[in-house]
């Protein structure tokens, strides 16, 4: 396949650990110029320095995806640093799962704010640029819980089901409007990241920890899928990737 990833400018949210960090290092190693965003400035700086030490190009900016102005600012950083923007990987997310009866209503609202509004803010920030240049790639992380229902994930899964519909509508509308904006939605199963640290419900935490200990695989596996998607020819869209451990019956 012809290399199309070299030189692409890619924003990554949730870039301070897990899938975001692994993806930044993976695609920077293939010649992409990465723009890293997350709340933890110290982690972003370390990752950017590691990428540059390995010969890659990276800039970073602390951001909260729930703030529209932070999303606008990182788009501007990409343009100011590299003169263009080609793709955004909307990876930031939280997973404080619990049964509905636990009534963790604050956590419900947090999940909606980060997992849904965070994506909407990112899309809103890049759309004017992508529409004007008639090209762009929007990638987002859903979950296997966005494909089927699992007890304990009613709200979390709901936020991820939203992404499935939203990203598919975005893909179709872009094709109809002739803006050439491509989409890719990823549905990971058990990937070893910091997601489990957001679970406060003891029963849910124990169950998820056991699941991930039994099946979890490295986030670099997802990073390679993102790299594959970004390297596709401009006239080709693979809109969905379901990815997980080969031995997990998700």
113-131: average pLDDT = 98
71-97: average pLDDT = 98
22-49: average pLDDT = 98
In the chain, what are the domains?
Answer: 9-241 (3.40.50.720)
* pLDDT score recorded for residue 1: 58
* pLDDT score recorded for residue 195: 85
Q: Which residue is it, tokens 């590691």? A: 50
Active site residue 156: yes
112-131: average pLDDT = 98
Q: Which residue is it, tokens 């970004």? A: 230
Q: Which two tokens stand for residue 242?
A: 């379901």
- Count other C-beta atoms under 10 Å from residue 115's C-beta: 27
> What are the pLDDT digits (tens) for 178-227?
999 999 999 999 999 988 888 999 999 999 999 999 999 999 999 999 99
* pLDDT score recorded for residue 194: 87
Q: DSSP character for 2?
A: -
Let me know: does 74 contact 90? Beta carbons within 8 Å. Answer: no
**231 pLDDT exceeds 70?**
yes
Let me know: does 31 contact 230? Beta carbons within 8 Å. Answer: no
**12 pLDDT exceeds 90?**
yes
From 150, 156, 187, 212, the catalytic residue = 156
pTM of the model: 0.96
The pairing of strands 33-38 and 9-13 is: parallel
> What are the pLDDT digits (tens) for 150-165?
999 999 999 999 999 9
Q: What is the mean pLDDT of the chain?
A: 97
Q: Distances in Å between the alpha carbon of 69 and those of 21, 63, 142, 147, 169? A: 23, 9, 23, 31, 25
Rounded Cα gap, residues 150 and 127, in angstroms: 33
Least confident of 102-116, 132-146, 185-199: 185-199
């Amino acid at each position: 396949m012809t290399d199309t990833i070299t030189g692409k400018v890619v924003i990554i949210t949730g870039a301070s650990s897990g899938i975001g960090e692994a993806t930044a290092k993976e695609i920077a190693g293939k010649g992409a110029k990465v723009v890293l965003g997350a709340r933890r400035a110290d982690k972003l700086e370390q990752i950017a320095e590691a990428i540059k030490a390995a010969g890659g190009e990276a800039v970073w900016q602390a951001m909260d995806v729930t703030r529209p102005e932070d999303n606008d600012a990182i788009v501007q950083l990409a343009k100011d640093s590299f003169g263009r923007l080609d793709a955004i990987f909307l990876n930031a997310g939280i997973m404080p799962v619990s049964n509905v009866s636990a009534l963790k209503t604050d956590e419900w609202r947090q999940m909606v704010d980060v997992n849904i509004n965070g994506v909407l803010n990112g899309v809103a920030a890049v759309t004017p640029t992508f529409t004007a240049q008639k090209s762009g790639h929007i990638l987002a992380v859903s979950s296997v819980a966005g494909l089927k229902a699992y007890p304990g994930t009613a709200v979390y899964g709901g936020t991820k089901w939203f992404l499935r519909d939203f990203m598919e509508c975005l893909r179709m509308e872009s094709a109809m409007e002739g803006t050439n904006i491509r989409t890719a939605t990823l549905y990971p199963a058990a990937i070893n990241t910091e997601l489990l640290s957001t679970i406060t419900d003891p029963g849910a935490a124990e169950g998820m920890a056991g699941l991930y200990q039994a099946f979890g695989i490295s986030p670099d596996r997802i990073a390679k899928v993102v790299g594959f998607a970004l390297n596709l020819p401009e006239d080709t869209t693979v809109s969905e990737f379901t990815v997980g451990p080969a031995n997990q019956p998700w």
